[in-house]
Amino acid sequence: MRRFTLHTSRRTTLLFALGLASLFVYWLGLILPYNVFSLQLKPLLSVAQLTRNNPTAQAAFVVTFAALSGLYYLTWRLCRGPQPSAMWIALLAPLVVVNLSLLWLYPIDAADIFDNILRGRITAQYGGNPFYQAPNDAPSDPFLTYTAWRRSTSAYGPLWELLAAGTSRMAGDDKLANVIAFKSLGLLFYFGSLALIAGLLRRHTPERALQGVCLFAWNPLVLYETAGNGHNDVVMVFCILSGLYLLSRERHIPAALALTAGATIKFIPILLLPIALATGLRAQRTTRGRVIFGLAALTACAALIVALYAPFWRGGDPIGLDRRSGMFTASLPAILQARLELSLGAEASQRIVSRAALVTTLLAVALQTRHAWRESDWLAPIRASAFVLLFYLLLTCLWFQSWYAIWPLALAAILPEGTAGRIAVLLSYAAIWKPIIFDYFLVRGSSLPPRVWRETLLGSVLFGLIWLYVIFVSITGRLDSKSALRHPPSAIRHP
């Protein structure tokens, strides 16, 4: 007993030390050089712009994320084994400090947070409609010079715009207050997501709870893009996790509503709704029960969508579906579209590739819905949902951005160790390097290489290793119906 206590005490001390080491790296590599005070909250700054023609700063940025990735892996490894309360404190206490510190990081990865702020102000301050009015329609707003998508209406759903409006109303006109408020909104849903991951694991497999929470909570991409850059993806992730948590409690209609709510943040959770409905239908013992459940669930989801869109609806295409079908970057479809454009032209190549990607995605959703229907364990809808998200991001997503890799990682944190988790972590690692590859190697001066060359190189470098790994596990049989993705053996480890 004395040896066990000493061993656990040593693990706790090491875990806390790793958290402090990570905090030090975040401060030294990101917060000190790129905080909102030293950069004076100037508009449209990016890490590429701030480090251009400065090899030392570029190298420091690369080394920072390499060090954070290594510390993340060591932290995850230490979370195996007994989980006394001291281990939870050692894991979470430095994490809170890291997140609060990253609130003061200038959003150096993208200007999306400023677009979100201004659209929130269009609703809250001007009584406008962000689905029909672009930032340029508020020419005197102090945030206009900070926005990158000035001519574009909202790319998100009504629930997000309602949250953005409420946050903007509380923050007022102060620039720094708005940045901190929108980042803090994301942190609320980030910690809510951790609570859902912990709740699911502590209920079903408590021995994996600490490690599962660590896998998502301490991931450098999650921290950098959420608290650091203020992206809203974690709000959608919270809705997905809420739906899966409710499914595990056999509350099928609330689960469907949670996913529908997520789809009114970003559309992605709508791909997971058939899986939730199939799980609910399977739980009904009679045909009559299934009919009643199906009608009730679909009616409730439709009513929620109508209620959320009602304040904004003016007809037309408020979420920009036509615009989305012509946006391609850093993906397999982007590579194909760029090459087809040479012979077919832009419009035809975009139409062919976007439709092919949509059909392929729907086939993957149908396949995983069938798996969820046939399997009865609590992990079935989570496995199916993780597969859909990974399939979409790796193969059919038209427009890939680094922060999208957060989505499947949240589900990988719940799954047993195996191929799905490994792919999700590899994707998060690859996503970290996307801006580095683009800004430091593809962009030379003010010019970009030809689009075919740019997309082929960016997509291949970003996803190449993961594609090869997926091919390898497919050939060796680890992705079939008896694979680690479906029933992961403990011998396969991740990250």
Print pLDDT tens along the chain (495 aa): 344 444 778 999 999 999 999 999 999 999 999 999 999 999 999 998 899 888 899 999 999 999 999 999 999 999 988 889 999 999 999 999 999 999 999 999 999 999 999 999 999 999 999 999 999 999 999 999 999 999 999 999 999 999 999 999 999 999 999 999 999 999 999 999 999 999 999 999 999 999 999 999 999 999 999 999 999 999 999 999 999 999 999 999 999 999 999 999 999 999 999 999 999 999 999 999 999 999 999 999 999 999 999 999 998 887 777 788 889 999 999 999 999 999 999 999 999 999 999 999 999 999 999 999 999 899 999 999 999 999 999 999 999 999 999 999 999 999 998 899 999 999 999 999 888 887 766 665 556 778 898 899 889 989 999 999 999 988 886 554 444 444 433 333 344
CA dihedral defined by 473, 485, 232, 147, rounded to 10 degrees?
Answer: 20
CA 330 distance to own-chain centroid: 16
What pLDDT is stored for residue 203 in this prediction?
96
Q: Which helix (H) or strand (E) holds 359?
A: helix 346-374
What pLDDT is stored for residue 490 in this prediction?
36
Cβ-proximal residues to 185 (8 Å cutoff; 6+ apart), any chain:
163, 167, 232, 235
DSSP string spanning 88-99? HHHHHHHHHHHH
What pLDDT is stored for residue 170 in this prediction?
97
What pLDDT is stored for residue 494 in this prediction?
41
Which tokens belong to 301?
Answer: 């989801």
Q: How far is CA 105 from CA 25, 156, 228, in A?
A: 13, 24, 6
> pLDDT digits over 331-385, tens only?
999 999 999 999 999 999 999 999 999 999 999 999 999 999 999 899 999 999 9
Q: How far is it, in rounded angstroms, from Cα 67 to Cα 206?
A: 30
What pLDDT is stored for residue 53 in this prediction?
83
Q: Where are the alpha helices (DSSP H) in 172-251?
A: 175-204, 209-217, 220-223, 233-248
Q: The tokens 């209406």 sit on which residue? A: 153
C-alpha radius of gyration, the chain, whole number? 22
CB 274 within 8 A of CB 363: no
- Residue 173: helix, strand or coil by DSSP? coil
CB 228 within 8 A of CB 102: yes
What pLDDT is stored for residue 3 in this prediction?
42
Q: So where are the chain's domains?
A: 2-110+180-475
CB 263 within 8 A of CB 270: yes
